[in-house]
Amino acid sequence: MISYLLRGVATGMAIAAVGVAHGQSTPLMSLSKTVEIAVNNDPWLAGSELRQRAMLSSSVAAASLPDPVVSLSMANVPTNGFALDQEPMTQLKTGVSQVFPRGDSLAIRSRQLAQQAAEHPLKRADRIAKTRVTVSEIWLDIYRAQQSIRLISQDRALFQQLSDIATANYSAAVGRVRQQDVVQAKLELTRLEDRLATLSALEERAVGQLMQWIITDVSASNIGNSAQGRLLLPENLPDIQPLPSPALDAIERKDFGALAEWLAQHPYVRAIEQRLLVSQTGIALAQEKYQPQWALNASYAFRDDTPAGTSRADFLSIGVSFDVPLFTDKRQDQDVAAAVDLSEALKTDRLLALREMIAASQALYAERQRLSQRRVLYQDELLALTQEQATASLNAYTNDDGDFAEVVRARIADLNARVDALDIDVAWAKNQIRLHYYLNPSADIPITHRGEQP
């Protein structure tokens, strides 16, 4: 009787699994689609483009001379009658003056602003690469939670029926079922319920984190939500495209020089180099402060005729003024020194960035090697062994030659092994995506699902 009931449980579980796999009509939210939506709807990228355009406009304006200054005045008007023809020095005066900035400071400042604008495309490329990593990791967290829930839910149904069988057999005194077997079955069911609650909380939290990336311009109807409000993901992990061989070879050989040359093309490092170029232009701009600032002025003064009607000559004045930077130790010298120090500090920023990226790449590669070993171990041996153990203990129990507690322990061990294998696969996918950020940041979304066109 026990054997018949257990075979019925197994058949029911198989039918349920087929229903889960093929009864789904809601569109699935693939990883590649999720990343594409997040990148296309990132407001930071739009803001960066606007800042770049603003700096380019400012660079054009910075190359222009200051506006000339026009003056109108009345000079030497007598206060005892305010007559314009009374005194020979009374004048109606108009003038114009033009300031010429120091040296080539206009052209240098314009070039500096254009260089600052050129940093934004690099920052956007780095932002896109980081967005792919962040969104992919959140998506994989949701995938891990959903697949773990699916695995546990399948075994929970089996444990529920095992518990019912044990309770019925204990009540009817059939077989060697003991009270502790009934208690243990209920205890494992409670533990599975707790695991499901924990995983559901993790899934909901990850979905909330993902919404900030995809909800801005995307309605809930086209992001793969089910009627129950869950984000429906494919059942298979995406395939990650291979990493660039030269970079992997450099990591394997621990050739830090070659790896540094490869990482020097990363947009994050290139953005620092662009800031370094801006700072070097700033040194040239500070050095222009040693040059004098010139100003040209011209004026024309009209004089009225004398009271007797005799014409008076008008006056024309032309002049040049300039400042003399004599006391440079407190101003110009300090400005140049500050610009030089800033440039040297950015060189250290570049060095630190390369060192951090080399260390991160090495650490991720070492983790990748260990995860690959564990994946092989689980797929080739451990999963088969735990499943074999679970089957053997179940067969022994159905033949009244085994212990119910051993059946439960074997099933739990098999479930834990499958969940651990899932965790390793997800960790490996995350590792590959992080390595892509360092070694292949400019690539398009390096992710495809099985059967999906890249």
Which H helix or E strand runs over 291? none
pLDDT of residue 218: 44
Q: Which residue bears the tokens 């990593």?
A: 133
If pLDDT is split at 50, 70 and 90, which confidence band does 406 have? confident
pLDDT of residue 325: 84
C-alpha closest to that of 273 among 348, 339, 356: 348
Q: What is the DSSP letter of 231?
A: B
pLDDT of residue 166: 60
**Tens of pLDDT, residues 15-44:** 334 334 444 434 688 898 999 999 999 999
What would the mean pLDDT of 359-380 be, rounded to a whole number? 95
Q: Which long-range contacts (CB under 8 A, 24 or more apart) does 303-310 make?
A: 303/88, 303/89, 303/90, 303/91, 303/92, 304/84, 304/85, 304/90, 305/85, 306/85, 306/88, 307/85, 307/86
If pLDDT is split at 50, 70 and 90, which confidence band does 161 have? low
Determine the Cα–Cα distance for residues 356 and 269; give it in Å rounded to an integer.
Answer: 11
Q: Which residue bears the tokens 């060095």?
A: 351
Query: What spatial distance separates the first Cα and last Cα of the chain, rounded to whole Å?
Result: 53
Question: How far is residue 47 from each of residues 54, 142, 224, 267, measured CA to CA in Å?
Answer: 11, 29, 28, 18
**Is 221's pLDDT higher than 50?**
no
If pLDDT is split at 50, 70 and 90, which confidence band does 309 have? confident
State the pTM of this model: 0.82
What would the mean pLDDT of 320-340 be, rounded to a whole number? 90
Greater confidence (26 vs 394) lies with 394
Determine the Cα–Cα distance for residues 109 and 256; give it in Å rounded to an integer.
Answer: 38
Bridge partners of 72, per DSSP, are 94
List, edge to edge, every strand of the sheet that includes 315-322: 69-75, 91-100, 294-302, 315-322
**Topology at the third CATH level for domain 2-67+104-291+341-448:** Outer membrane efflux proteins (OEP) (1.20.1600)
Domain extents for the chain? Answer: 2-67+104-291+341-448
pLDDT of residue 391: 86
Q: Which residue bears the tokens 């924990």?
A: 198
Q: Across 153-157, 176-180, 259-263, which has the greatest mean pLDDT?
A: 259-263
**Is 2's pLDDT higher than 70?**
no
**Is 453's pLDDT higher than 50?**
no
**Is 265's pLDDT higher than 90?**
yes
pLDDT of residue 157: 73
Determine the Cα–Cα distance for residues 353 and 190; give it in Å rounded to an integer.
Answer: 49
Determine the Cα–Cα distance for residues 29 and 333; give it in Å rounded to an integer.
Answer: 60
Determine the Cα–Cα distance for residues 376 and 374; give it in Å rounded to an integer.
Answer: 5
**Is 339's pLDDT higher than 80?**
yes
Contact 147, 234 (CB under 8 A): no
**Is 320's pLDDT higher than 60?**
yes
Greater confidence (431 vs 454) lies with 431
If pLDDT is split at 50, 70 and 90, which confidence band does 324 have? confident
pLDDT of residue 64: 93
Share of the chain above pLDDT 90, in %: 58
If pLDDT is split at 50, 70 and 90, which confidence band does 61 have? very high
Q: What is the 3-state secondary structure (H, E, C) of 309-335?
A: CCCCCCEEEEEEEECCCCCCCCCHHHH
Question: How far is residue 170 from each of residues 8, 224, 384, measured CA to CA in Å?
Answer: 19, 46, 32
pLDDT of residue 132: 93
**Is 342's pLDDT higher than 90?**
yes
**Tens of pLDDT, residues 104-123:** 999 999 999 999 999 999 99
Classify the C-alpha dihedral 96-102-107-109 as positive or negative. Answer: negative
What would the mean pLDDT of 161-183 be, rounded to a whole number? 59
Rounded to 10 deg, the angle between the 105-172 and 267-287 helix axes is 150
Greater confidence (259 vs 80) lies with 259
| Side-chain half-sphere CA neighbours of 425 within 13 A | 18
**Is 404's pLDDT higher than 50?**
yes
Q: Across 137-151, 230-244, 440-454, which has the greatest mean pLDDT?
A: 137-151
Q: What is the DSSP letter of 292?
A: P
